[in-house]
Chains A and B, each alone.
Chain A
Amino acid sequence: MNFERFWAVFLCRNWEFLRDRSTLTWNLLFPISLIAGFAVAFSGPGLDLYKVGVLSDASGGNGGDFFQTRYVQFIPVADLAATLPKIERHQLDMLVDPVGRRYWINEESPKGYVLERVLRGAGAPTDFNKQTVSGRVIRYVDWVLPGIMAMNMMFSCLFGVGYVIVRYRKNGMLKRLKATPLTPLEFLSAQVASRLWLILATTVLVFIGTDWVLGFPMHGSYLNLFIVFVIGAISLISLGLIVAARTASEEVAAGLLNALSWPMTFLSGVWFSLEGVHPVLQQCAQLAPLTHIIDAARAIMIDGAGLAAISGHLLMLTAMSLGFMAVSAWMFRWE
């Protein structure tokens, strides 16, 4: 490994990224829009989970306590015929006619089922006593934010490295580099390092901006969180390198990167907990680096976990990084 050669490629890659105004703007605008989106979505009262159409009048006089239910958005509607298709298409979870004492739900809609139970008062047996959980109050945004930051990092790592190397291969630049003393290790390390610092800088920006707008809790160490993001980003970049190792077509690369990123997004618990999901899927989720990044980040930010508590995740991420790098180095072809 010759550091001078590594540094020269690293610098040129950085110049290329920083001077490409469209890419740079997108990479800066996207996290800023993300923060703005969070501000709009989460700064007011809690998100409504259900949508109920109310025919004619929404005063709620005839619906009793049902119309006072929290987390349900009641939407006045005037035309029954025009509204029923919205129930069929899950655009509304329920339609209530307080005057006619009728309601409509889609039998296939889980939300409709729950709303029906609430409306009909089919609650728990009356001999159950309510208990409340004490301790830190965790909003949904506090829980979902580490996942969104990790997801943003994942897309940037996978596409930022995978696409660029495939483009270099397609336009013949890798062939030219092959004819020099530059080794694949030096070239790939420079690509990883360049993308790594850019992603970390972006993630820190998102973190600070989101905290400024939303003010989320941070109960653990910032350094520990940074370590998780560094190792996590390396593992994701290395995964991107595997895709870029031989692919010569940007279309194929896009397909492969999507095939990796979307299952990871769904399985890693970015938006919802994996509790109750089929055990096989839960095991599959453990194979994805994104799962470990999110779990470790949540443990640090929400529970104040230290390095020892998240060591399992760090070990998995390190092992995955080494494994992915080894595979990509073995598979790599200049042409």
Chain B
Amino acid sequence: MTVLLETRHLIKHFRGVKAVNGIDLTLLTGCCFGLLGPNGAGKTTTVEILEGIQQPTSGTIRYLGEALGPRFRQDIGIMFQSTALQDHVTGRENLQMFASFYQRRLPLDALIEACALGEFLDRDTRKLSGGQRQRLLLAIALVNDPELIFLDEPTTGLDPQARRNFWELIHRIKARGKTILLTTHYMEEAYHLCDEIAIMDHGKIIAQGTPRKLLATHFDDVVLQLPLADFPDPAPPLAHPVVYGRDTVDILTQDVGATVQELLAYNIPLARLLIRPRTLEDLFLELTGRELRT
């Protein structure tokens, strides 16, 4: 795999605030790279700099070893979280307009079939459902057969079926050797789709690696989860950390057998006990905190 996009010490200031504070990223060809972070972490600014929409205050970005230029514009596809399309114009006309912007184009019929646009292609874009609209926006992002595709929270607001359907589309794009930069708030989505992820907070990358490697690096325990109603109050003095959720209690342990014995010793009902491995969401919350971001 070769280096497709590379940034070195990217910095972006907004009126004295460092939105991006020294980001180094390397995207390899054919890789799906996930950029995660809480609201206000600097993720959108970073992605917009990578897309060439914003200029960094300092630092360098190179695409195939060159500064971003006309070739980069021809080679990328972008799907914003909420791209507005022209009113009163059909999906087909939108596709045709965007296709005309590029030298290289995918055959529209193939694109229409790949993204399953057939049934609503000639409908006014204002009359599309959320899932249909996202599929059309993905098709627009792919219209130039891009080497690098930016997907900014592409499944936000979609129902589970539409989200699974969208994942399938992304898998097919990956199978064609395309490089994807994905931002999402769904950890399950990142785990399912990404080969590598970076977690950002306060303008910096605070963790980076493959999902499995990140979990293995940060955690050596599993979670024993009980409904809050089944857990005694006051809590018994367990030998393991206990994390209270809204409706559940998580007991973090490296020795499931011993912990279960301990719970039985306190007569805690285990009928609804759930044992699960650590997830990206656990890692995300551990690294970025649990307080609400706006």
Chain A residues in contact with chain B, CB under 8 A?
4-5, 7-9, 11-13, 15-16, 19-20, 168, 171-173, 175-176, 178-182, 335
Contacts and interface: CB of A to CB of B under 8 A. Distances in A.
Interface string B48-76: 00011100000000000000001001101
B87 A12 contact: no
B97 A173 contact: no
A9 B97 contact: yes
B100 interface: yes
Contacts of B97: 8-9, 11-12
A178 B233 CA distance: 58
B51 A179 contact: yes
Interface residues of B, number: 26
Contacts of A168: 84
A179 B102 CA distance: 12
Contacts of A5: 100-101
Contacts of B124: 19
B191 interface: no
Given A5-B101, A179-B53, A180-B98, A173 B88 contact: no
B78 A20 contact: no
Given A4-B100, A179-B78, A180-B101, A173 B85 contact: yes
Contacts of B85: 173
A179 B100 CA distance: 14
B184 to A, nearest CB: 19
A172 B96 contact: no
Contacts of A178: 53
14 contacts: A7-B100, A8-B96, A9-B97, A11-B93, A12-B89, A15-B89, A16-B86, A16-B89, A20-B88, A171-B84, A179-B51, A179-B53, A181-B101, A335-B53
B103 to A, nearest CB: 8
Interface string B8-29: 0000000000000000000000
Given A19-B124, A173-B84, A176-B83, 7 more contacts: A11-B93, A11-B97, A12-B86, A20-B87, A171-B84, A178-B53, A180-B101
Contacts of B83: 172-173, 176
Contacts of A12: 86, 89, 93-94, 97
B167 interface: no
A181 B84 contact: no
A181 B68 CA distance: 12
B39 interface: no
B284 interface: no
B73 A15 contact: no
Given A12-B93, A181-B101, A182-B101, A172 B52 contact: no
Contacts of B52: 179
A108 B115 CA distance: 74
Nearest to B77: A179
Contacts of A4: 100
Nearest to B83: A176
Given A8-B97, A175-B80, A180 B73 contact: yes
Enumerate the 3 nearest inter-chain pairs by beta-carbon distance, A residue then B residue, closest first: A171-B84, A8-B100, A19-B88
B66 to A, nearest CB: 16
B88 A181 contact: no
B74 A181 contact: yes
Nearest to B101: A180
A20 B86 CA distance: 11
Contacts of A8: 96-97, 100-101
Contacts of B101: 5, 8, 180-182
Contacts of A19: 88-89, 124
